Chain A
Amino acid sequence: MAVGRALVVVESVDGQALPASLELLTEARSIAGNVDAIAWGAGVAASLASEVGGYGAARLFDVGDVGDSLPGPAVAGAISGIVASGDVPEVILIPTTYDCRDIAGRLSVKINRPVITNVIDLEVGDGGIRSVHSLFGGTQIATARFTGDKPWIFVIRAKSFVPLQSGGPAAEVVPVQPGDLDATGAATITSHHVESQTGPKLDEADVVVSGGRGLGSKEAYAMVEELAELLKGAAGASRAIVDAGWVSYARQVGQTGKTVKPTVYIACGISGATQHLVGMKGAKHIIAINKDQEAPIFSVADVGVVGDVHQVMPKLIEAIKALS
Chain B
Amino acid sequence: MNIVVCVKQIPDPAAPPAIDETKGTLVRSGKLAMDDSDSYGVEMALQLAEQAGGGEVTLVSMAPNGETSGLRTALAMGAAKAILVSDEALAGSDALATAKVLARAVDRVKPDLIVAATESTDGYTGTTPVQLAELLGFPSITFAKQISVSDGKLAVQRQTEVGYDEVECPLPAVVTVTAGVVEPRYPSFKGIMAAKSKPVDQLTLSDLGLDASEVGATGSGQEVLSVVEAPQRASGQIIVDDGEAYQRVVQFLQELKLI
Please list the residues of chain A having a beta carbon within 8 angstroms of any beta carbon in chain B: 70, 72-73, 76, 97-98, 101-102, 104-106, 108-110, 112-118, 130, 134-136, 138-149, 155, 182-195, 197, 206-207, 230-231, 239, 242-245, 248-250, 255-256, 263-264, 266, 281, 285-287, 289, 293, 298-308, 311-312, 315-316, 319-320, 323-324
Q: CA of A76 to CA of B130 in the docked complex: distance in angstroms?
A: 12
Given contacts A293-B240, A306-B239, A319-B246, contact A185 B139 (CB under 8 A): yes
Q: CA of A281 to CA of B142 in the docked complex: distance in angstroms?
A: 26
Given contacts A184-B133, A242-B180, contact A304 B145 (CB under 8 A): no
Given contacts A106-B130, A114-B94, A147-B222, contact A305 B241 (CB under 8 A): yes
Q: CA of A48 to CA of B222 in the docked complex: distance in angstroms?
A: 33
Given contacts A105-B127, A142-B227, A293-B238, contact A190 B166 (CB under 8 A): yes
Q: CA of A155 to CA of B99 in the docked complex: distance in angstroms?
A: 17
Q: Is B137 an interface residue (CB 8 A)?
A: yes
Q: Is B221 an interface residue (CB 8 A)?
A: yes
How distant is B31 from chain A, measured CB to nearest CB, in Å?
A: 19
How distant is A226 from chain B, measured CB to nearest CB, in Å?
A: 14
Report A-chain residues with C-beta under 8 Å of the C-beta of B232. 299
How distant is A282 from chain B, measured CB to nearest CB, in Å?
A: 11
Report B-chain residues with C-beta under 8 Å of the C-beta of A135. 17, 227
Q: Are B165 and A189 in contact (CB under 8 A)?
A: yes
Q: Are B179 and A70 in contact (CB under 8 A)?
A: no
Q: CA of A122 to CA of B221 in the docked complex: distance in angstroms?
A: 18
Q: Are A315 and B246 in contact (CB under 8 A)?
A: yes
How distant is A81 from chain B, measured CB to nearest CB, in Å?
A: 15
Question: Which stretch of B45-53, B68-76, B106-114, B156-164 is in the interface?
Answer: B156-164
Given contacts A108-B96, A190-B167, A264-B258, contact A312 B241 (CB under 8 A): yes
Given contacts A148-B221, A187-B169, A255-B124, contact A142 B226 (CB under 8 A): yes
Q: Which of A186, A206, A298 contacts B139 (CB 8 A)?
A: A186
Report A-chain residues with C-beta under 8 Å of the C-beta of B193. none
Q: Which of B95, B96, B161, B166 contacts A193 (CB 8 A)?
A: B166
Please list the residues of chain B having a beta carbon within 8 angstroms of any beta carbon in chain A: 17, 19, 24, 94-97, 99, 118-119, 124-131, 133-135, 137-143, 145, 157-170, 173, 178-180, 220-230, 232-233, 235-241, 243, 245-250, 252-254, 256, 258-259
Q: Are B138 and A302 in contact (CB under 8 A)?
A: no
Q: Are B161 and A243 in contact (CB under 8 A)?
A: no
Report A-chain residues with C-beta under 8 Å of the C-beta of B235. 299
Q: Which of B139, B167, B222, B252 contacts A189 (CB 8 A)?
A: B167
Q: Which of B119, B139, B222, B237 contacts A184 (CB 8 A)?
A: B139
Q: Which of B127, B140, B228, B248 contacts A155 (CB 8 A)?
A: B127
B241 closest partner in A (C-beta): A307
Q: CA of A305 to CA of B240 in the docked complex: distance in angstroms?
A: 6
Q: Are B142 and A145 in contact (CB under 8 A)?
A: no
Report A-chain residues with C-beta under 8 Å of the C-beta of B252. 285, 287, 302-303
Q: CA of A286 to CA of B236 in the docked complex: distance in angstroms?
A: 9
Q: CA of A163 to CA of B192 in the docked complex: distance in angstroms?
A: 54
Q: Which of B96, B167, B170, B254 contacts A115 (CB 8 A)?
A: B96
Q: Which of A97, A239, A287, A323 contacts B161 (CB 8 A)?
A: A97
Q: Are A256 and B162 in contact (CB under 8 A)?
A: no
